[in-house]
Structure formats: structure tokens, C-alpha cells
Amino acid sequence: MASKLFALDIGTRSVVGIILEEHDEKFHVVDLIAEEHKERAMVDGQIHNVIHVASVIQHIKEQLEEKHGPLHSVSVAAAGRALKTEKAAATLDIKNRPVMTEDDISRLELAAVQKAQRQLLDHKEKSHSSHYYCVGYSVLYYRLDGEEIGSLMDQQGEEAEVEVIATFLPRVVVESLLAALKRAGLEMAGLTLEPIAAINALIPSTMRRLNIALVDIGAGTSDIAITNAGTVVA
């Protein structure tokens, strides 16, 4: 049986629900429903009325469930309003260790993200801003013994390093999304930023060595993401 994915784009003017099916490692759109908010429940990509937004999500969910069966979890793209970005690097001593595995690389990347979050907290104390949640990151480079390398997988040496650019959204933005989904009977399976979602759909990894700007012009916000050197750099 084909694997199905339910995703939502919760925008300022409307909510779009989409059902994808995975075949041969590719996703195919099998259904899509868009519905406008009945009142101004969203302002600049931020949920201002959880109950009204949840009712739109619930209506879309019910229509899709009639055709595709029960839906319990959803992936969400969020507007980048008030996002913060931080760059951070983490290193790992790999002398006298077996080759690097996927788990080793994931732990190293997570250490870099946690360092980025600590940097943001330091800035936060100075600016008295609210708490932020990490909503995604991109790897800027891997290094092995001081030299850039395409992948650390199965590599050996003395020191491995990764630098990431991590993106954070204010707690109020994330928690209002979670509250609207919960009221509609859904769990959040994944969260990404709208420009990152657009880049993954429109700019293949083979083109990301070019300095390209992707602009997502919405009803309430415009989001920009920049690719270069094979990754999302800003």
C-alpha cells in the first residue's frame, strides 16, 4: 500500500490541505483543498484566533478523510515572520574511533544546533525577546581534520566538524499552531518554514551551488531564502 502524507499550509488568507502518496521514492499529489478564513483570524502569518483557524483546519480534514480515511497527524509549513537565524559549529574528536555513522553525524549536527540555540539565548537576554523554538536547520559544511568534505559518512580521521545555520520561531507562533491542530484533532508530525518548503519543491540540490533567492509572496508576509554553495545559507 502506498505511503500517504497529509500537509497543511496555514496562511494569512487561506489554509491549504494536501494529500501526497509515495511511489518509487517520489511523492505524487492525490488531493488538494483550499479554504479561506471566514474572518481575520490570521495576521501576518500569526494565528490570532485559534478557534477560528482550527475550524477551517477541521473542515479541510473532514473533507479529505471522506476520501482518504482517518488523518491523525500533519506536517505544517509556517510563515517566517519574526524568525531568527544563528550559525554555529560543533566538533568531535574521532581519533581511535570506528568510522563515522549516520547516528554520529546526527549527534554532531544536533550539538551544533544546540550551540546555536545557546547563542540565541545569550542575545535574548540582552534584547528581552521571548523564547524561541528551533524549526529547522541546514548544514553549511562538514570538515574532516580541517578540510571541507562532502560527507562524513564512513570517514575516519582525528577531528570532525559541522557548521549549521539554524532557524528559530517565537514560542507564541509555534504554540498557537499546536493549539489549532490539537483542537482539530491532529498532531504535528513535522514543521518547516514556508520558504524552505518552497526551495525543496522548486530548487533541486544540483542548483543550490548557484546564488539563488527564492521569494514566497503571501497575503500577509513575504519570505526569502537564499541558496549558495550547495545549501540554504540565509
Output the DSSP codes for 85-135: EEEEEEEEE-TT-----HHHHHHHHHHHHHHHHHHHHHHHHHHTPPPEEEE
Q: Give the closest residue to 79 by CA, choosing from 11, 181, 171, 176.
A: 11
How far apart are the C-alpha atoms of 90 and 116, rounded to whole Å? 10
How far apart are the C-alpha atoms of 202 and 42, rounded to whole Å? 26
Does 227 score more than 90 pLDDT? no
The predicted pLDDT at position 8 comes to 93
Angle between helices 50-68 and 171-183 (to 10 degrees): 50
Q: Give the closest residue to 60 by CA, choosing from 1, 30, 15, 12.
A: 15
The answer to whether residues 227 and 221 touch, using CB atoms and an 8 Å cutoff, is: no
Does 133 score more than 90 pLDDT? no
Q: Give the closest residue to 51 by CA, choosing from 217, 181, 150.
A: 181
Per residue in 110-125, pLDDT tens? 999 999 999 988 875 5
Per residue in 12-23, pLDDT tens? 888 999 999 988
- The whole-chain average pLDDT of the chain stands at 87
